[in-house]
């Protein structure tokens, strides 16, 4: 069941009790979120059913389009900054042609998935939390459950699919734009020809870099879906609560993405 | 049909229901009245286990709904149609899709059949021309009626109405009253209606219960209800007598 009874706690007796309660609630909420997302994965097999495909398609579209503009700008400048920073250092050794590799590898492994995830969390994730939160507050979720429409299948699963599929695709896009941005800076500021830049890039970047990056993007998509849907469903206290859920979604997904991103890099490269 | 047995519930640290017991018979139209914040919506929510009692239990037929889970709970809930106080329509679906949602999600009817059935119930609530509109484009009273259409589309045995006529003009209110009464007479539907509208209460109710201070202070047929000596009931009647003289006489 997704609708929970309103909770009420007496004010804590002391600091110790207050901290303890927070920790316990955080553990319980993490558990709830994980159970919810596990259930959503189980429902993925019905994604093409008559009851779900329309919503799933819409979420794919929405997730893909919603942040495309911002992603383009951010990706462009990430590539440009990377090229400029490393290029200026490398120039001291006459090695500026190597910015091709530097930019490409950094984009593929780290910056591509990371930047994409941050932007998607802030735009799509917050929108999901706001929408689900509003539905909780206006009793729409309760109404769905009473109609025996499972909110996890009906609402979470399509959003999970949207994020899971679109995050890697958007990341490829970010990578391409970033690498092109790097090439532009290399050409205009550092005097590296486009030919040399792309030669250098393709010579040293490995397929593994791309795959690990895309795997990261996929995991980040799942994280954003989990955090956003859980925060949305956990909304209490009217319109104010919806604002709170949105803010928490952004903060919690940023932190989780950072930590899990580090762990994945650690797993594959150390 | 529905039985509350010494149900106690706190919400937000406040005692809302205090050992409430009553029973609703099959085929009744049971009215719950009471001041704002008395716990009327809370009482309705107990019947479908959106809330569970701390003490006591709630029975629906032979099932203990207050302890049901999983498939059992789903089966019990499928006997109900519920109109929420807030209408609770999905904002991103058109009215037609909102009303047809239970059919679309729970039956294998073809889109055409669903369409036909949706138009049928929308007609019952006097909304023929809103099929293609979004809930946000409707007035509060119209949304309420769409919610009502959605509540009755699966032909439930028991319907819970949380203030079905609030925000409606008197003429439309009477249409809704007739609809509730017709469902009872023709299909034997059991209804529980929360209302502030004395006219509706007296016109369609088989029994009226007054909720105050977490307890049921009066429970009687409309005829006896208006003669009640209970001070809370009297002040409720008096407050409406001024504005609804006709209703008083009708009773
Ligand atoms: N989610 C909640 N959290 C905390 N307290 C609640 C909650 N829901 C209801 N209450 C409390 O329970 C009491 C009864 O609420 P309820 O919604 O049943 O009132 P009502 O009789 O339906 O009033 P109205 O006529 O205004 O709809 C109120 O005092 C309210 O403060
Ligand atoms: Mg209410």
CA distances from A189 to A99, A181, A184, A257 (A): 12, 12, 8, 33
CB contact under 8 A, A143 and B88: yes
Q: CB–CB of B135/B150 below 8 Å?
A: no
CA distances from B62 to B56, B159, B187 (A): 15, 18, 21
Give chain B positions within 8 Å (CB) of A154. Answer: 105
Q: Which residues of A111-133 are buried (b: 16+ CB within 10 A; e: fewer)?
A: bbbbbbbbbbbbbbbbbbbbbbb
Residue B16: how many CA atoms within 13 Å on its side-chain side? Answer: 20
Whether residue B186 is predicted with pLDDT greater than 90 in this model: the reply is: no
DSSP string, B94-115: -HHHHHHHHHHHH----HHHHH
ipTM value: 0.89
Give the mean model confidence (pLDDT) for residues B33-56.
93
Q: For chain B, give every domain's residue range.
A: 88-155
CB neighbourhood size of A62 (10 A): 17
pLDDT at residue B166, as a whole number: 84
Strand-by-strand arrangement of the B14-24 sheet: B14-24, B2-11, B55-60, B63-64
What is the distance between the alpha carbons of residues A179 and A103, in angstroms, rounded to a whole number?
6
Q: CB–CB of A97/A192 below 8 Å?
A: yes
Torsions phi, psi of B60, nearest 5?
A: -125, 110
**Reported confidence tier of residue A53, pLDDT bands at 50, 70, 90:** confident
**A196-210, A238-252, B234-248, range with greatest mean pLDDT:** A238-252
pLDDT at residue A21, as a whole number: 94
pLDDT at residue A240, as a whole number: 94
What is the distance between the alpha carbons of residues B189 and B28, in angstroms, rounded to a whole number?
8
Q: For chain A, give every domain's residue range.
A: 15-268
Whether residue A42 is predicted with pLDDT greater than 80 in this model: the reply is: yes
- Tens digits of per-residue pLDDT, B114-169? 999 999 999 988 888 899 999 999 988 889 899 999 999 999 999 999 999 887 88
Local structure of B168: helix, strand or coil: coil
Whether residue A38 is predicted with pLDDT greater than 80 in this model: the reply is: yes
- Tens digits of per-residue pLDDT, A123-172? 999 999 999 999 999 999 999 999 989 999 999 999 999 999 999 999 99
Q: Measure A177 CA to ligand 1 centroid, in angstroms.
A: 54
Give the mean model confidence (pLDDT) for residues B221-236.
90
B1: closest CA among B67, B63, B61? B61
Q: Does B202 touch chain A (CB under 8 A)?
A: no
Closest atom of ligand 1 to B39 CA is 18
CB contact under 8 A, A143 and B82: yes
pLDDT at residue B247, as a whole number: 54
Q: Tokens 């495309």 identify what position? A: A68
Packing angle of the helix pair B140-152, B95-106 (nearest 10 deg): 20
CB neighbourhood size of A9 (10 A): 9
The whole model's pTM is what?
Answer: 0.91
Q: Does A7 touch chain B (CB under 8 A)?
A: no
pLDDT at residue A244, as a whole number: 96
Helix intervals (H) in chain B: 40-47, 70-77, 95-106, 111-124, 140-152, 170-187, 198-204, 222-225, 231-243, 245-250
A225: closest CA among A132, A105, A90? A132
Local structure of A173: helix, strand or coil: helix
CB neighbourhood size of B210 (10 A): 23
Provide the shortest C-alpha distance from residue A102 to chain B (in Å): 45
Consecutive H or E run containing A38: helix A15-43
Q: Residue B46: CB within 6 Å of ligand 1? A: no
**Reported confidence tier of residue B17, pLDDT bands at 50, 70, 90:** very high
Provide the shortest C-alpha distance from residue A21 to chain B (in Å): 17
**Reported confidence tier of residue B250, pLDDT bands at 50, 70, 90:** low
DSSP string, A212-259: HHHHHHHHHHHHHHHHHHHHHHT--SHHHHHHHHHHHHHHHHHHHHHH
pLDDT at residue B251, as a whole number: 54
Q: Which residue has the higher pLDDT, A113 or B124?
A: A113
What is the distance between the alpha carbons of residues A253 and A72, in angstroms, rounded to a whole number?
21
* Segment 32-91 of chain A within 8 Å of chain B by CB: 51
Q: Residue B40: CB within 6 Å of ligand 1? A: yes
A163's CB contacts (< 8 A; 6+ apart) are A63, A120, A124, A221, A222, A224, A225
The three-point CA angle B107-B110-B111 to 5° equals: 105
Burial of residue A31, with CB atoms counted within 10 A of its CB: 0-12 exposed, 13-18 middle, 19 or more buried: exposed
* Segment 5-24 of chain B within 8 Å of chain A by CB: 10-13
pLDDT at residue B106, as a whole number: 85
List strand residue ranges (DSSP E) for chain A, in order: none
pLDDT at residue B236, as a whole number: 86
CB contact under 8 A, A149 and B106: yes
Q: Residue B13: CB within 6 Å of ligand 1? A: no
**Which residue's CA is the nearest one to ligand 1's atom 11?**
B11
Q: Express as a percent the part of chain B with pLDDT over 70.
A: 96
């Amino acid at each position: 069941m997704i609708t929970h009874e309103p909770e009420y706690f007496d004010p804590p007796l002391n600091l110790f009790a207050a901290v303890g309660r927070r920790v316990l609630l955080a553990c319980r909420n993490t558990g709830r979120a994980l159970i919810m997302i596990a259930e959503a994965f189980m429902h993925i097999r019905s994604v093409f059913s008559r009851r779900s495909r329309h919503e799933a398609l819409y979420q794919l579209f929405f997730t893909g389009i919603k942040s495309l503009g911002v992603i383009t700008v951010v990706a462009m400048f990430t590539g440009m900054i990377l090229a400029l920073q490393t290029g200026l250092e490398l120039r001291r050794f006459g090695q500026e042609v190597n910015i091709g590799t530097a930019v490409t590898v950094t984009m593929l492994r780290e910056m591509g998935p990371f930047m994409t995830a941050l932007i998607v969390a802030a735009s799509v994730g917050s929108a999901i939390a706001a929408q689900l939160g509003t539905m909780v507050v206006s009793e729409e979720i309760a109404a769905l459950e009473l109609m025996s429409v499972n909110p996890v299948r009906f609402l979470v699963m399509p959003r999970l699919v949207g994020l899971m599929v679109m995050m890697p695709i958007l990341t490829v896009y970010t990578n391409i734009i970033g690498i092109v941005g790097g090439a532009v800076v290399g050409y205009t500021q550092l005097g590296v020809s486009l030919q040399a830049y792309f030669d250098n890039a393709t010579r040293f970047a490995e397929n593994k870099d791309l795959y690990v990056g895309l795997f990261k993007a996929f995991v980040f998509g799942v994280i954003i879906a989990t955090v956003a849907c859980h925060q949305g469903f956990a909304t209490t206290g009217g319109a104010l609560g919806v604002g709170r859920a949105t803010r928490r979604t952004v903060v919690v997904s940023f932190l989780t993405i950072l930590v899990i991103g580090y762990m994945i890099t650690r797993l594959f490269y150390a | 049909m529905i039985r509350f047995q010494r149900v106690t519930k706190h919400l937000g640290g406040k005692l809302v229901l205090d050992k409430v017991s009553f029973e609703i018979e099959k085929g009744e139209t049971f009215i719950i009245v009471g001041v704002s914040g008395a716990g009327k919506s809370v009482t309705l929510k107990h019947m479908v286990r959106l809330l569970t009692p701390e003490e006591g239990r709630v029975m629906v037929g032979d099932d203990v709904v207050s302890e049901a889970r999983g498939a059992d709970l789903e089966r019990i809930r499928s006997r109900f149609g519920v109109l929420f106080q807030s209408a609770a329509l999905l904002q991103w679906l058109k009215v037609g899709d909102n009303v047809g949602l239970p059919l679309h999600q729970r039956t294998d009817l073809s889109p055409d059949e669903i369409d036909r059935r949706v138009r049928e119930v929308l007609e019952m609530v006097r909304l023929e021309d809103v099929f293609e509109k979004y809930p946000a484009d409707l007035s509060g009273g119209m949304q309420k009626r769409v919610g009502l259409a959605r509540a009755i589309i699966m032909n439930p045995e028991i319907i819970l109405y949380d203030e079905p006529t609030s925000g409606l003009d008197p003429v439309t209110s009477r249409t809704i009253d007739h609809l509730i009464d017709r469902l009872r007479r023709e299909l034997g539907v059991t209804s529980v209606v929360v209302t502030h509208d004395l006219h509706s209460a007296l016109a369609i109710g088989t029994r009226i219960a007054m909720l105050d201070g977490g307890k049921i202070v009066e429970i009687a047929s409309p005829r006896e209800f208006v003669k009640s000596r209970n001070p809370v009931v009297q002040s409720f009647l008096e407050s409406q007598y001024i504005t609804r003289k006709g209703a008083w006489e009708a009773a």
